[in-house]
């Protein structure tokens, strides 16, 4: 059964390697990266901005809040969820963490989220997942390729 992720967008950007990039590039990278969590639903939430499309794929969405903070939006959406055992909130914000845990949802750190989904079979030799240093290296290489418009060094 698919999970649902609510991503505290700016919190993820400013607490991961994405903080080293221009804000617009960092936002775009985070939005595109969220697609690796398919078939899960991922909703990336940013504080206010008008006129931006919300849907980026059948299971991935971007929300720019108006009239409320991204934090309040995430809390309100988690409150509305019927099965909170399938809900994950990605943030380091302690006020969100405490509240959504109280509601029965899970919390994931931005670093863990940026490490990618853990869809591995029991027989996989990578059952434990990649070491953090390897995940970081892969993410940095992918970001370099992405920011250079798909040109790779040969």
> What mean pLDDT is predicted for residues 78-105?
95
Angle (nearest 5°) at CA 10 between 133 and 143: 40
Strands 106-108 and 41-46: unpaired
pLDDT at residue number 37: 87
Please provide residue 50's backbone torsions phi and psi, each rounded to the nearest 5 degrees: -95, 160
Question: For 96-142, how does the pLDDT look when each residue is reduced to its tens digit (9 = 90+)?
Answer: 999 999 999 999 999 999 988 875 333 333 444 556 766 777 777 77
Domains and CATH numbers, the chain: 4-147 (3.40.50)
Question: For 15-66, how does the pLDDT look when each residue is reduced to its tens digit (9 = 90+)?
Answer: 999 999 998 899 889 988 988 888 889 999 998 765 454 555 556 788 888 8
According to DSSP, the residues that pair with 108 across neighbouring strands are: 90
pTM recorded for the entire structure: 0.73
- The pair of structure tokens assigned to 34 is 């969220």
**Can you say whether residue 129 is alpha, beta or left, with left for phi > 0 and alpha for psi between -120 and 50 degrees?**
left
**pLDDT at 5 exceeding the cut of 90:** yes
């Amino acid at each position: 059964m698919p999970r649902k992720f609510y991503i505290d967008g700016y919190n993820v950007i400013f607490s991961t390697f994405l903080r080293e990039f221009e804000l617009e590039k960092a936002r775009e990278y985070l939005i595109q990266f969220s697609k690796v969590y398919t078939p899960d639903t991922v909703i990336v939430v940013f504080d206010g901005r008008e006129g931006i499309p919300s849907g980026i794929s059948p299971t991935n969405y971007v929300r720019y809040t108006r009239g409320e903070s991204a934090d309040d939006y995430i809390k309100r959406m988690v409150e509305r969820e019927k099965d909170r055992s399938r809900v994950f909130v990605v943030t380091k914000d302690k006020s969100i963490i405490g509240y959504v845990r109280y509601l029965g949802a899970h919390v994931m750190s931005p670093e863990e989220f940026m490490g990618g989904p853990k869809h591995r079979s029991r027989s996989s030799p990578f059952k434990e997942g990649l070491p953090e240093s390897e995940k970081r290296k892969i993410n940095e290489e992918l970001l370099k390729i992405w920011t250079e418009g798909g040109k790779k060094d040969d």
